[in-house]
Structure 1
Amino acid sequence: MTEQTLPAMPTVRDRYAAAYAASGENGISAAIRAVLGAIRRYAWMAVGIVGAAIALALVVTMLDTPRFTATSSVQINDQSDEVLGGEFETQIAPPSDWDIDRFLNTQLDVLRSRALAERVADGLDLANDERFFGAMEVAPQSVPTEEREKRKLAIDLLQDNTAVELRRSTRIALVAFSSTDAEITARIANAFAEEFIQQNLQRRFDSSAYARNFVAEQLEEARASLEQSEAALNDYARQTGLIRTRDAFAPTGPELAAGTVTSSSLLQYNQAAIRAREARIAAQSRWDAVRNAPLLSSQPVLSNPTIQALMTRRAQLESELQVARERYLAGHPATSRLEGDLAAVNGQLTRTANEVRQSIRSEYLAAEAAEKRLEGQVSQARGATLAEQDQSVRYNVLAREADTARSIYDGLLQRYRELNASAGIASSNITIIDRAEVPGDPSSPSLPRNLAIGLLIGLALAGIAIFLRDQLDDVIHTPEDVEEKLGLSLLGVVPRAEGQSPLEALAEPKSPIAEAYNSMRGALLYSTPTGLPKVIVVTSAQAAEGKSTTSFAIAAGLARIGIAPLLIDADLRRPALHKLVGISSERGLTDLLIAQGEPGDVATRVKHGETEFDLLPAGPLPPSPTELLSSPRMAQLLESFSQRYGVVIVDSPPILGLADAPMLAAIADGTIFVVEAERGHSGALKAALRRLRSMEPTILGAALAKFDPSRSGNRYSAYYGYDYYSYTDKEGRGAA
Structure 2
Amino acid sequence: MNEFKPFDRLDRPARSRPAPDASGEIFDLRGLWLAFRRRLALFFAIAALVLLAIIVVTFQMTPQYTASAQVMLDPRDREVVDLQAVVSGLPPDSAVVDTEVEILRSRALANRVIDELNLMADPEFNPALRDPEGVARAAGAVGGFFGGLFAAISPGGPSRSLSPADEADLHRAETIESLQRALSVRREGLTFVIDVAATSESPQKAAAIANAYADKYLVEQLEAKFDATRTANEWLEGRLADLREEVNAREQAVETYRAEAGLLNAEGETLTERQVADLNAQIILQRADLAEKQARLGAVRNLVSSGGSNQEISEALSSDVIRELRSQRAEVVRRQAELSSRYGERHPEMLKVRRELADIEAEIEREAERIVTSLSNEVDVARQRVASMEGSIGRLRGEMVQNNSELVRLRELERDAEASRALYESFLTRFRQTSEQQSLQEADARIISRASIPAEASAPNLPMNLALGLILALVAGSGAVFVAETFDQGLATKADMERELGLPALALIPGVPRAYASRDNAAGYALDKPLSSYAESLRALRAAVLFGRGHGDVKVVAITSAVPREGKTATSLALGRVSAKLGSRTLVIDADLRRSMLTRTAGLTPRAGLLEVLDGRATLDDAITREQASGLDILPLTGEDRSASDVFGRRDMRELLQAVRERYEFVILDTAPAMAVAETRILSTAVDAVVLLARWRKTPRAVVKAALDALAHVDAPVAGAALTQVNLSAEGRYGYGSGYGGSYYKYYSKYYEN
CA deviations 1:472-531 (Å, max 9, x no partner) are 66665444565678786533334567999546887899996377437723885435xxx4
Please provide the CA RMSD for this pair.
5.7
CA deviations 1:207-236 (Å, max 9, x no partner) are 112212322333344344434544554566
Name the structure 2 match of 1:284: none
Aligned equivalents of 1:86 and 1:515: distance in 2? Answer: 105
Structure 1 residues 65 and 94: alpha-carbon distance in aligned structure 2, compared to 1, 3 A threshold: closer
Name the structure 1 match of 2:658: 639
Q: Which of these residues, 79, 95, 101, is aligned with residue 83 of structure 1?
A: 79
Are the aligned partners of 1:36 and 1:716 in contact in 2 as well (CA < 8 Å)? no
CA deviations 1:161-191 (Å, max 9, x no partner) are 2233344544433322221110111111111
Aligned equivalents of 2:675 and 2:560: distance in 1? Answer: 10
Are the aligned partners of 1:116 and 1:192 in contact in 2 as well (CA < 8 Å)? yes
Name the structure 2 match of 1:417: 432
Identity of aligned residues (%): 23
Structure 1 residues 124 and 704: alpha-carbon distance in aligned structure 2, compared to 1, 3 A threshold: closer
Name the structure 2 match of 1:491: 506
Are the aligned partners of 2:251 and 2:417 in contact in 1 as well (CA < 8 Å)? yes
Structure 1 residues 264 and 494: alpha-carbon distance in aligned structure 2, compared to 1, 3 A threshold: farther
Max Rg structure: 2
Aligned equivalents of 2:66 and 2:25: distance in 1? Answer: 53
Q: Which of these residues, 614, 620, 623, is aligned with residue 640 of structure 2?
A: 623
Q: Which of these residues, 79, 101, 114, is aligned with residue 121 of structure 1?
A: 114
Are the aligned partners of 1:571 and 1:651 in contact in 2 as well (CA < 8 Å)? yes
Are the aligned partners of 1:495 and 1:513 in contact in 2 as well (CA < 8 Å)? yes
Q: In the alignment, residue 567 of structure 2 is paired with which amino acid?
A: E
Q: CA deviation at 1:377?
A: 12
Matched, 1:668 2:684: no
Name the structure 1 match of 2:590: 570
TM-score, with length taken from structure 2? 0.62
Are the aligned partners of 1:641 and 1:648 in contact in 2 as well (CA < 8 Å)? yes
Aligned equivalents of 2:715 and 2:4: distance in 1? Answer: 19
Structure 1 residues 621 and 418: alpha-carbon distance in aligned structure 2, compared to 1, 3 A threshold: same
SS in 2 for 1:668: coil
Correspondences of 1:1-80 after superposition (within 5 Å): 17-18=18-19, 21=21, 24-25=23-24, 28-29=27-28, 33=31, 39-76=36-73
Q: In the alignment, residue 442 of structure 2 is paired with which amino acid?
A: S
Name the structure 2 match of 1:520: 544
Aligned equivalents of 1:95 and 1:46: distance in 2? Answer: 55
Aligned equivalents of 1:711 and 1:400: distance in 2? Answer: 100
Matched, 1:446 2:461: yes
Name the structure 2 match of 1:215: 236
Q: CA deviation at 1:407?
A: 1.4
Name the structure 2 match of 1:165: 186
Larger deviation: 260-269 or 625-634? 260-269
Are the aligned partners of 1:137 and 1:180 in contact in 2 as well (CA < 8 Å)? no
Larger deviation: 132-141 or 398-407? 132-141
SS in 1 for 2:428: helix
Structure 1 residues 81 and 639: alpha-carbon distance in aligned structure 2, compared to 1, 3 A threshold: same
Aligned equivalents of 1:264 and 1:52: distance in 2? Answer: 112
CA deviations 1:99-124 (Å, max 9, x no partner) are x53x4454333222232123223334
Structure 1 residues 558 and 204: alpha-carbon distance in aligned structure 2, compared to 1, 3 A threshold: farther
Aligned equivalents of 1:110 and 1:727: distance in 2? Answer: 68
Matched, 1:181 2:192: no
Matched, 1:537 2:558: yes
Are the aligned partners of 2:246 and 2:420 in contact in 1 as well (CA < 8 Å)? yes
Aligned equivalents of 2:580 and 2:608: distance in 1? Answer: 25
Name the structure 1 match of 2:418: 403
Structure 1 residues 718 and 61: alpha-carbon distance in aligned structure 2, compared to 1, 3 A threshold: same
TM-score, with length taken from structure 1? 0.63
Structure 1 residues 723 and 512: alpha-carbon distance in aligned structure 2, compared to 1, 3 A threshold: farther
Q: In the alignment, residue 589 of structure 2 is paired with which amino acid?
A: D
Larger deviation: 704-713 or 467-476? 467-476
Q: CA deviation at 1:200?
A: 1.0
Are the aligned partners of 1:674 and 1:704 in contact in 2 as well (CA < 8 Å)? yes
CA deviations 1:53-112 (Å, max 9, x no partner) are 2222222222221111122232346x7724146643332486897xx53x4454333222
Q: CA deviation at 1:195?
A: 0.7
Structure 1 residues 680 and 502: alpha-carbon distance in aligned structure 2, compared to 1, 3 A threshold: farther
Q: In the alignment, residue 439 of structure 1 is paired with which amino acid?
A: P
Structure 1 residues 558 and 244: alpha-carbon distance in aligned structure 2, compared to 1, 3 A threshold: farther
Correspondences of 1:654-665 after superposition (within 5 Å): 661-665=680-684
Aligned equivalents of 1:536 and 1:157: distance in 2? Answer: 76
Are the aligned partners of 1:73 and 1:435 in contact in 2 as well (CA < 8 Å)? yes
Aligned equivalents of 2:35 and 2:207: distance in 1? Answer: 52
Are the aligned partners of 2:511 and 2:534 in contact in 1 as well (CA < 8 Å)? no
How many equivalent residue pairs?
Answer: 592
Are the aligned partners of 1:672 and 1:703 in contact in 2 as well (CA < 8 Å)? yes
Are the aligned partners of 1:237 and 1:243 in contact in 2 as well (CA < 8 Å)? no
Q: CA deviation at 1:677?
A: 3.0
Are the aligned partners of 2:608 and 2:638 in contact in 1 as well (CA < 8 Å)? no
SS in 2 for 1:21: coil
SS in 1 for 2:738: coil
Name the structure 2 match of 1:111: 104
Aligned equivalents of 2:541 and 2:470: distance in 1? Answer: 47
CA deviations 1:121-140 (Å, max 9, x no partner) are 3334445xx6x446878757
CA deviations 1:3-40 (Å, max 9, x no partner) are xxxx996999986633x527x446754x973x655544
Are the aligned partners of 1:568 and 1:589 in contact in 2 as well (CA < 8 Å)? no
Q: In the alignment, residue 58 of structure 1 is paired with which amino acid?
A: I
Aligned equivalents of 1:223 and 1:634: distance in 2? Answer: 122
SS in 2 for 1:17: coil
Structure 1: gaps of 5 or more residues = 1-6, 247-257, 274-372
Aligned equivalents of 1:230 and 1:428: distance in 2? Answer: 44
